[in-house]
Structure 1
């Protein structure tokens, strides 16, 4: 009898998500990240996002939720996925190196008080770590999303979300679910504050 890989993936995903939601530390980290991003957006700062491959797609997805909307009608907020400008990506990679592809953009676009969110399932992507170093030096709040093997990423981040699994697709699912939770929290906080003014 052949193994049901689809069912196995669902089971692995449910197990990873269950571990995540049952982790007080992970949930507390998410609340802190949401609070920092909300404070930045409220003060007119922006969220920058970076990632490779599937994580690049997640960066774009999250940026769209912030600039457009997640669930609530509200003003647009500033978020930029640094994974989308093909001219910048190719020029920087060609003229410098792929390791500098995000760091150079952070150097040019990042301002003190902004937030940089770097997504890397391994926690070891050189171009993500290089950008986080530049962001810290410029006074940005640095946030990392990674997986169970990415603990070393803490050295480069103010806040780190560690998905409790080593399975890359499940890490990515936890990252996106976490980002959606953050978006929901940000919208709730900022739209509630706006109605009180």
Structure 2
């Protein structure tokens, strides 16, 4: 069993090393888009499918509350994966609208959607991005593999942070690191010396 554990650690390290040079400038671009939106008094709205939703919640809460240091809150929120809403949207076509429905209700032009998906052909993610684009929002998409259909929806001002891996668990691990890195960069830029 130890060998399997060591193999997981090694694979995770190799995936992060492979992502480092490729993703650093893209992550910086995403952080700047989010920073500019915050400076313009816009919101950051976050969501993700499956396990990715927990990463989006961590990002929203870290922006809203703190990553490492006490500081003023930033306007960020995680769209809710609500079981009641899911039951109201009972058929599959409606269920894929869960985040899109919430986004249409609270988003304004200039807000930023951060969507995280280790499976870049997720119908829920695609419907949410379509809703964001219809509201004239910018999109920061954290994906993996070949970017899937998500990559095809993004415009020239949007950012895709595509992890160079096809394994969802490795993609999620890098997404978590990216979320922390973005929040840390924003926090230290807005509140230097804290």
TM-score normalised by the chain length of structure 2 = 0.90
1:31 is matched with 28
1:172 is matched with 172
Shift in Å, 1:146: 0.7
Please tell me whether the aligned partners of residues 47 and 99 of structure 2 are also in contact (alpha carbons under 8 angstroms).
Answer: yes
> Which runs of 5 or more residues in structure 1 are unaligned?
none
2:114 is matched with 117
**In 1, Cα distance between the equivalents of 2:94 and 2:148?**
25
Match of 1:67 among 56, 59, 64: 64
Q: How does 1:1-197 map to 2 (within 5 A)?
A: 4-23=3-22, 26-93=23-90, 97-157=94-154, 158-192=158-192
Q: What is the number of residues matched between the two proteins?
A: 191
Please tell me whether the aligned partners of residues 126 and 149 of structure 2 are also in contact (alpha carbons under 8 angstroms).
Answer: no
Shift in Å, 1:49: 1.0
Deviations 1:82-111 (A, max 9, x none): 134444444345696111111111111111
Please tell me whether the aligned partners of residues 150 and 162 of structure 1 are also in contact (alpha carbons under 8 angstroms).
Answer: yes
**In 2, Cα distance between the equivalents of 1:89 and 1:187?**
34
Shift in Å, 1:44: 1.8
**In 2, Cα distance between the equivalents of 1:93 and 1:77?**
34
Shift in Å, 1:80: 1.3
Deviations 1:145-188 (A, max 9, x none): 11123244222231100001111111001001011110011011
Please tell me whether the aligned partners of residues 48 and 116 of structure 2 are also in contact (alpha carbons under 8 angstroms).
Answer: yes
> Which runs of 5 or more residues in structure 2 are unaligned?
none
Shift in Å, 1:113: 0.9
Moved over 3 A (4+): 84-90, 92-96
Change (3 A) 1:90 1:37: farther
Shift in Å, 1:81: 1.0
Please tell me whether the aligned partners of residues 116 and 140 of structure 1 are also in contact (alpha carbons under 8 angstroms).
Answer: yes
**In 1, Cα distance between the equivalents of 2:37 and 2:47?**
17
Shift in Å, 1:144: 0.8
Please tell me whether the aligned partners of residues 81 and 99 of structure 2 are also in contact (alpha carbons under 8 angstroms).
Answer: no
3-state SS of paired residue (2:11)? helix
